């Protein structure tokens, strides 16, 4: 075998199995989704017909879609900063010597390991009006019971609280890793110059954590569009779509209404959103690679 | 003083964080009558677990999840190793473009492509099988990326020494690269297992029968009958389905956290 | 990668044995695939397997491969994909309201056509209220099997404590509201016990249909391509439901979770509840106080929708398979079987003659509440069902929840739902 050809063959052969699966289940469906979104949904004897941008026009006029999009933005803006702030706080708290540090770390991290589906079932019980944990605790403070998941105003915040609880520990890990890579001498030097701890955090630690924060931020944002298990268990998007998120809407349109063409159009929009987020991540990865 | 305050804060936060689980534990281990009443004389019981175990084929669901997770991980390890090695150490034409196409999966995740992947599975005639649940995840862009970074950090001298000894490509990979990447494999394995143990939406869509349903889907079906909800039994079932993962996590806590660190920061 | 279940293998082997052993040269043995869902607690799969085994004993040339297909939704999904991939089941139990979905997908066969002239007496033997969800385009597409209605459960102890007759359920809307007012116990800003709960999560349209029927309204036409959400009677019904919570404050405001309503009843958080007859066994086992079961209260009339699942026969099957499937459905719905199924599961036995069997008579004598659902059938109507059923149903659900959460006035919510539903149903009105 000519030596020029050999790496070509070896390279592609090694890549082949993964490439086939990626093409079949990532690249092809992405393209096919975009194409399907331009056709009507086939039903019974009627086949799919090319309808141009009709599905997108339907989307623009669909109040549920706009509600889902709005909810998802609220959900992202509500959960991501809170989860990140808590994660950072947790990391700072357990980075130092601390009585029972292992237990504390464990407590923070455990929710991350559990399936969202099981967690959601448990939290569903907490939010039960009257005798759920939340209402029982509020009773001790003399507050009346509240229909947490059954009211438009509280359903999304309730889901957000649970999501923050579940995710903060996960992001804490990344901060812990980053903190361990900061040489202690930096802080010590600043302390010698009489800087307060808050100043050290603000001027030294936090800037050094910036890449981690960016990484966590992008991942948290992607998660807020990708994870809807809790909606299926707790609210099914209700009441009156007050907790409808985009991916759950795709699921409902695609697998309850069996309107696959409209679901494809919704998926395209969701993919565009995720792509925009991920491009940010790419740029960030690029920078890290250059730094090395 | 300040340190004591911070310790107290850390502990308070930890207690808040563990409270939901503790409460679930309370409900699961006590008779239904005490589900919402905290009394120290409340009798302990395993009846809720027994009832949940009886009410749905959880043994089968455990088996399905176990098979699924094992199958996905095994396929991921093989496929990602081969691909990552090609990207890291073989100069072939189109490598850069191919790598970009792999990275596409980091943003276009199988979790979102449910409608189209469902049609593909229907066309392949494998709906309602463990294979259908696992296939979209087997070629993992993240795994390839992670292993490529690791392989790239393997010293060239080791590589060349093995080649001089006459090792073939696969031997080289198996004897030099794989052993050096062991911590990364462990990390990736733990992330993969916990991800797929917990995965729900896609398995919910592609499975319809007891023989294929993983635990998460089984739990959801169990918890949503037309009849009312019995919280004691549902929390028992929820804890039961998470128990293996939870126990494994408690036993290997340090490795687990270290692994997530390693898998995450690259 | 077709899975072969143990049952299937055994069944196939048994069928082969029969075929080899039989001396007469009959047609090849028929194997039927039968999908069934499980929507209530209890050992449903075991009961079905038992009935199938009995059927196979009497019909040596037919093997029934009974496949537990998950929830109702799973079953419909599984059947539809099987149809699209060219390998449909021979028969399935699925929601009676999925009839139009199956028709639109060209998936099912009409029973009256397969059964021929001899089938008419059989089909006429079911309660008309249950058959209402089986007819479209002049044909019979579904045969009632696991069916239910809504009834009112009340806590007799709570009634007595509130100075009410513990053996008398409210008979009218006004009475229910009055009773509920007396039963609602407040402690400070909080409510210790509500008067009544009508669940409104998940599928509020079903319970709401109880109210609209009582107020003399119907929600859709028989062709399933028109809905009447904005009629005054419908708006009044929603106003009543909203007022129970917001104006009279005898029911929790906002959305009431279907799943926890029985638990609320057991915990004495509510003294009355509306829920399915399918909960009878559950309430009987878990209520720590004497309870009563009654028909829903009347406004202009009594009324409740039916609910639950029907048998469907699928296309793309051979004539011999169709006849065998039909024989199986007929066997499963004889008076004795219908009675047995009702007693074991809590579903309403689907034929009047099932209620005159000795087994059913004994059961009702011991547990009179079981007969309430039957008596209410006289006033029951078809469950809400249209073309593009899930989507239209969701539109109505959203409207109801918008009103119940105070987002919209009932009239506005229903007007919006009407125009949305009209838009979705327009394509189905052309033919």
Q: Which of B89, B113, B123 to mutate against chain A (most A CBs within 10 Å)?
A: B113
Query: Bigger pLDDT: C23 or B240?
Result: B240
Closest-CA distance of chain C to residue A152, Å: 7
Query: H/E element holding C92?
Result: strand C91-95
Per-residue model confidence (pLDDT) at position A263: 95
The dihedral formed by the CA atoms of C375, C379, C380 and C382, expressed in degrees to the nearest 10: 150
What residue of B is the nearest CA neighbor of C6? B211
Asked if residues C257 and A149 have their Cβ atoms less than 8 Å apart, the reply is yes
Q: What is the mean pLDDT of chain A?
A: 87
Q: What share of chain A has pLDDT > 70, as a percent?
A: 95
The model's pTM: 0.88
Q: Taking CB atoms and an 8 Å limit, are C405 and A241 in contact across chains? A: no
- By the CB < 8 Å criterion, does C292 face chain B? no
The C-alpha torsion from A26 through A27 and A32 to A37, rounded to 10°, is: 80
**C-alpha torsion sign, points A220, A224, A227, A232:** positive
Helix/strand number for chain C, H first, E second: 19, 13
Distance (Å) from the C-alpha of residue A153 to the closest C-alpha of chain B?
23
CB-based contact B229 C263, cutoff 8 Å: yes
Q: What is the 3-state secondary structure (H, E, C) of C238-254?
A: HHHHHHHHHCCCCCCCC
Nearest CA in chain C to B224: C259
CA distance C212 to C208: 6
**Nearest-by-CA chain A residue for B5:** A93
Number of domains in chain A: 1
Burial class (CB in 10 A: 0-12, 13-18, 19+), C248: middle
> Closest to A131 (Cβ–Cβ): which among C105, C267, C405?
C267
Q: Tell me if chain B has a CB within 8 Å of the CB of C338.
A: no
Q: How confident is the model at residue B148 (pLDDT cuts 50, 70, 90)?
A: very high
Long-range contacts of A286-289 (CB under 8 A, 24+ apart): A288/A211
Q: Tens digits of per-residue pLDDT, C193-203?
A: 999 999 998 88
Q: Say if residue B163's pLDDT is above 60.
A: yes
On the question of pLDDT at C20 being above 60, the answer is no
- Judge whether residue C1 has pLDDT over 70: no
Q: Cα(first)–Cα(last) distance of chain A, in Å?
A: 37
Nearest to C83 by CA among C66, C108, C58: C108
For residue B113, the chain A residues in CB contact (below 8 A) are 25-26, 29-30, 33, 267
State residue C26's pLDDT score.
47
B209–chain C nearest CA distance, Å: 5
Q: How far is A35 from chain C (nearest CA, A)?
A: 20
DSSP code for C97: G
CATH class of C149-305+382-429: alpha beta
How close is the nearest chain C Cα to the Cα of A237, in Å? Answer: 9
Q: Is the pLDDT of residue C8 over 50?
A: no
Condensed to tens digits (0 to 9), the pLDDT of residues B17-47 reads: 998 888 888 888 888 777 766 677 778 888 8
A and B: number of Cβ contacts within 8 A: 263
Percent of chain B with pLDDT over 90: 30
Residue A57 lies in a domain: no
Q: How far apart are the first and last CA of chain C?
A: 41
Query: Are the Cβ atoms of A239 and C264 closer than 8 angstroms?
Result: no
User: Chain A closest CA to C81's CA: distance in Å?
Assistant: 11
Residue A288 has a pLDDT of: 52
| C384-415 core/surface letters (b: 16 or more CB in 10 A; e: else) | bbbbbbbbbbbbbbbbbbbbbbebbebbebbb
Contact at CB, B208 and C263, closer than 8 angstroms: no
CATH 1.10.3720.10 correct for B23-31+42-265? yes
Count of C-beta atoms within a 10 Å radius of residue C16: 12
How many Cβ atoms sit within 10 Å of the Cβ of residue A45?
Answer: 8
Instruction: Using the predicted structure, report yes or no on whether residue C44 has a pLDDT greater than 70.
Output: yes
pLDDT value of position C9: 40
Considering the domain boundaries, does residue A31 fall inside one?
A: no
Query: Looking at beta carbons, which residues of chain B come within 8 Å of C279?
Result: 226-228
- Interface membership of C84 toward B (CB under 8 Å): yes
Enumerate neighbours of A (3 or more CB pairs within 8 A): B, C
pLDDT confidence bin for C156, thresholds 50/70/90? very high
Q: Is the per-residue pLDDT at A117 higher than 50?
A: yes
| Residue of C71, C197, C284 for testing the chain B interface, max B β-carbons within 10 Å | C71
- C190, C256, C402 member nearest A144 (Cβ): C190
pLDDT 10s digits, C342-375: 888 888 999 999 999 999 999 999 988 889 999 9
Contacts of B235 in chain A (CB under 8 A): 121-122, 125
Average predicted confidence (pLDDT) for chain C: 88
Contact check, Cβ <8 Å, B101/A11: no
Nearest CA in chain B to A94: B10
Distance from CA of B159 to the nearest CA of C (A): 42
CA-CA distances (angstroms) from residue C373 to C94, C118, C262, C290, C341? Answer: 21, 30, 18, 19, 15
Range of the domain at A92: 64-291
Terminal C-alpha separation, chain B: 38
pLDDT at residue C88 is higher than 50: yes
Residue entry with tokens 């050096």: B180
Same fold, C6-147+307-366 and C149-305+382-429: yes
Is residue A235 included in any domain, yes or no? yes
Total Cβ atoms within 10 A of residue C254:
25
The reply to whether C137 touches chain B by the CB within 8 Å rule is: no
- What residues does each domain of chain C span? 6-147+307-366, 149-305+382-429
Please name the member of B9, B115, B253 whose beta carbon is closest to the beta carbon of A264: B115
Q: State how far residue B164 is from chain A, nearest Cα, in angstroms.
A: 16
CATH architecture group of domain C6-147+307-366: 3-Layer(aba) Sandwich (3.40)
For residue C3, pLDDT over 60 is answered with: no
CB contact under 8 A, A147 and C254: yes
Please report whether residue A11 resides in a domain.
Answer: no
Cα–Cα dist C345/B56, whole Å: 17
Which chains neighbour C (Cβ–Cβ under 8 Å, 3 or more pairs)? A, B
Looking at CA atoms only, how far is residue A211 from chain C in angstroms?
43
ipTM, two decimals, is: 0.88
Taking the Cβ of residue A133 and every Cβ of chain B, the question of whether any pair is shorter than 8 Å is answered with yes
Domain contains A35: no
Mean pLDDT of C369-387: 91
Q: Using CB atoms, which chains have 3+ pairs under 8 A with B?
A: A, C
Q: How confident is the model at residue C237 (pLDDT cuts 50, 70, 90)?
A: very high
**B227/C282 Cβ within 8 A:** yes
Task: Let me know: does B239 contact B23? Beta carbons within 8 Å.
Answer: no
By the CB < 8 Å criterion, does B36 face chain A? yes
Percentage of chain B modeled with pLDDT above 70: 91
Out of C105, C191, C254, the one facing A150 most closely (by C-beta) is C254
**Distance between CA atoms of residues B197 and B62, nearest Å:** 10
Question: How far apart, in whole angstroms, are the C-alpha atoms of residue A166 and residue A157?
Answer: 14
Which CATH number belongs to the domain containing residue A165 in this structure? Answer: 1.10.3720.10
User: C304 pLDDT exceeds 50?
Assistant: yes
Q: Is B195 on the interface with A (CB under 8 A)?
A: no
Q: Does A84 map to a domain?
A: yes
C-alpha angle B179/B182/B186, rounded to 5°?
155
- C80 contacts on A by Cβ (under 8 Å): 258
Contact B211 C77 (CB under 8 A): no
Using CA atoms, how far residue C87 sits from B125, C33, C418, in Å, is 10, 10, 38
Which has more confidence, A210 or C151? C151
Residues in chain C within 8 Å Cβ distance of B125: 1-2, 85
- B7 CB near a chain A CB, below 8 Å? yes
The verdict on a CB contact (< 8 Å) between B122 and C84 is yes
Mean pLDDT within B183-205: 88
On the question of pLDDT at A83 being above 60, the answer is yes
Taking one residue from A and the other from C, the number of pairs with CB-CB distance under 8 angstroms is: 85
pLDDT digits (tens, 9 = 90+) for A157-213: 999 999 999 999 888 888 888 888 788 777 778 777 877 888 888 888 888 888 888
Distances (CA, A) of A279 to A284, B107, B147, C268: 8, 8, 21, 55
Q: Measured between beta carbons, which residues in chain C are less than 8 angstroms from residue A239?
A: 200-201, 254-255, 401-402, 404-405
Q: Is the pLDDT of residue C19 over 70?
A: no
Cα(A100)–Cα(A196) distance, integer angstroms: 27
Tell me the mean pLDDT in the region A6-22: 92
Tell me how close the Cα of C91 comes to any Cα of chain A, in angstroms: 18
Distance separating alpha carbons of residues A112 and A165, to the nearest angstrom: 9
Residue C18 confidence (pLDDT) above 70 = no
Please name the residues between 48 and 67 in chain A that touch chain B, using a CB distance below 8 Å. Answer: none
A74 touches chain B (CB under 8 A): no
| In chain B, where the domains are located | 23-31+42-265
Closest CA to C35 of C62, C61, C73, C2: C73
Of B86, B120, B234, the CB nearest to A29: B120
pLDDT for the residue numbered C233: 95
């Amino acid at each position: 075998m000519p030596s020029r050809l050999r790496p070509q063959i070896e390279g592609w052969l090694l890549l082949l199995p993964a490439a086939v699966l990626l093409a079949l289940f990532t690249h092809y469906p992405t393209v096919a989704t975009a194409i399907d979104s331009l056709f009507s949904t086939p039903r019974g004897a009627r086949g799919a017909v090319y309808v141009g941008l009709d599905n997108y026009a339907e989307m623009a006029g669909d109040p549920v879609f706009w509600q889902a999009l709005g909810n998802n933005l609220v959900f992202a803006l509500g959960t991501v900063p809170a989860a990140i702030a808590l994660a950072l706080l947790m990391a700072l708290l357990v980075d130092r010597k601390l009585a029972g540090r292992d237990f504390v770390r464990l407590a923070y991290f455990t929710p991350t390991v559990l399936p969202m589906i099981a967690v959601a079932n448990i939290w569903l019980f907490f939010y039960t009006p009257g005798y759920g944990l939340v209402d029982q605790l509020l009773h001790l403070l003399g507050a009346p019971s509240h229909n947490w998941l059954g009211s438009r105003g509280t359903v999304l915040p309730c889901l957000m609280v649970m999501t923050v609880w579940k995710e903060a520990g996960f992001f804490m890990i990344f901060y812990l890793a980053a903190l361990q890579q900061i040489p202690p001498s930096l802080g010590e030097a600043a302390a010698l110059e009489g800087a307060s701890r808050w100043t050290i955090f603000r001027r030294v630690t936090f800037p050094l954590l910036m890449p981690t924060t960016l990484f966590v931020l992008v991942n948290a944002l992607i998660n807020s569009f990708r994870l809807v298990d809790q909606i299926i268990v707790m609210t099914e998007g209700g009441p009156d779509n007050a907790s409808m998120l985009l991916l759950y809407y795709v699921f409902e349109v695609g697998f309850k209404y069996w309107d696959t063409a409209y679901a494809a159009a919704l998926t395209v929009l969701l993919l565009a959103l995720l792509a925009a987020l991920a491009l940010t991540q790419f740029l960030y990865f690029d920078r890290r690679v250059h730094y090395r | 003083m300040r340190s004591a305050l911070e310790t107290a804060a850390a502990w308070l936060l930890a207690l808040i964080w563990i409270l939901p689980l503790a409460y679930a534990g309370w409900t699961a281990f006590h008779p239904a009558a005490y589900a919402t009443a905290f009394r120290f004389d409340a009798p302990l019981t395993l009846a809720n677990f027994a009832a949940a175990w009886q009410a749905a084929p959880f043994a089968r669901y455990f088996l399905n999840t176990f098979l699924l997770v094992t199958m996905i991980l095994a396929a991921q390890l093989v496929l990602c190793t081969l691909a990552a090695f090609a990207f890291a150490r073989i100069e072939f034409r189109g490598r850069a473009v191919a790598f970009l196409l792999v990275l596409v999966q980091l943003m276009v995740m199988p979790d979102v492509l449910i409608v189209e992947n469902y049609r593909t599975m229907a066309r392949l005639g494998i709906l309602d099988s463990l294979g259908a649940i696992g296939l979209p995840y087997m070629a993992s862009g993240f795994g390839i990326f992670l292993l490529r970074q690791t392989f790239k950090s393997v010293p060239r001298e080791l590589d060349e020494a093995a080649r001089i000894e006459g090792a073939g490509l696969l031997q080289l990979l198996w004897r030099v690269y794989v052993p050096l990447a062991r911590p990364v494999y462990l990390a990736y394995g733990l992330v993969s297992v916990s991800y797929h143990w917990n995965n729900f939406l896609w398995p919910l869509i592609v499975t319809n029968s007891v023989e294929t349903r993983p635990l998460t889907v089984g739990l959801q079906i169990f918890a949503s009958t037309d009849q009312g909800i019995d919280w004691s039994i549902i929390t028992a079932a929820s804890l039961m389905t998470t128990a293996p993962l939870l126990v494994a996590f408690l036993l290997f806590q340090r490795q687990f956290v270290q692994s997530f660190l390693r898998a995450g920061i690259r | 990668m077709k899975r072969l279940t143990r049952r299937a293998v055994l069944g196939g082997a048994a069928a082969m044995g029969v075929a080899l052993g039989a001396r007469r040269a009959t047609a090849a043995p028929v194997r039927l695939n039968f999908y069934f869902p499980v929507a209530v607690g209890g050992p449903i799969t075991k009961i079905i397997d038992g009935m199938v085994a009995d059927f196979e004993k009497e019909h040596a040339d037919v093997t029934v491969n009974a496949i537990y297909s998950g929830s109702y939704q799973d079953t419909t999904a599984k059947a539809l994909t099987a149809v699209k991939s060219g390998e449909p089941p021979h028969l399935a139990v699925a929601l009676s309201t999925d009839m139009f979905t199956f028709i639109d997908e060209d998936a099912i066969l009409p029973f009256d056509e397969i059964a021929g002239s001899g089938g008419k007496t059989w089909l006429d033997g079911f309660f008309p209220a249950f058959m209402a969800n089986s007819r479209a385009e002049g044909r019979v597409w579904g045969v009632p099997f696991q069916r239910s209605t809504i009834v009112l459960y009340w806590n007799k102890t709570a009634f007595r404590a509130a100075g009410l007759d513990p053996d008398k359920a409210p008979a009218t809307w006004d009475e229910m509201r009055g009773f509920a007012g007396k039963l609602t116990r407040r402690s400070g800003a909080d409510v210790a016990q509500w008067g009544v709960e009508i669940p409104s999560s998940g599928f509020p349209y079903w319970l709401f249909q109880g109210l609209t029927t009582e107020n003399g309204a119907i929600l859709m036409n028989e062709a399933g391509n028109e809905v009447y959400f904005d009629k005054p009677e419908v708006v009044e019904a929603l106003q009543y439901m909203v007022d129970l919570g917001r104006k009279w404050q005898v029911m929790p405001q906002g959305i009431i979770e279907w799943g926890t309503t029985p638990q609320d009843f057991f915990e004495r958080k509510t003294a009355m509840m509306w829920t399915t007859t399918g909960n009878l066994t559950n309430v009987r086992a878990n209520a720590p106080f004497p309870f009563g079961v009654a028909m829903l209260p009347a406004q202009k009339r009594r009324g409740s929708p039916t609910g639950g699942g029907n048998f469907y026969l699928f296309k793309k099957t051979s004539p011999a398979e169709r006849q065998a499937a039909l024989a199986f459905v007929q066997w499963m719905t004889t008076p004795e079987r219908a009675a047995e199924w009702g007693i074991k599961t809590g579903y309403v036995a689907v034929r009047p003659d099932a209620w005159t069997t000795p087994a059913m008579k004994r059961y009702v004598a011991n547990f009179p509440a079981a007969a309430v659902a039957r008596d209410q059938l006289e006033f029951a109507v078809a469950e809400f069902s249209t073309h593009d059923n899930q989507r239209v149903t969701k539109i109505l659900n959203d409207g109801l929840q918008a009103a119940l959460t105070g987002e919209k006035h009932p009239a506005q919510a229903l007007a919006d739902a009407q125009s949305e539903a009209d838009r979705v149903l327009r394509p189905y009105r052309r033919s």
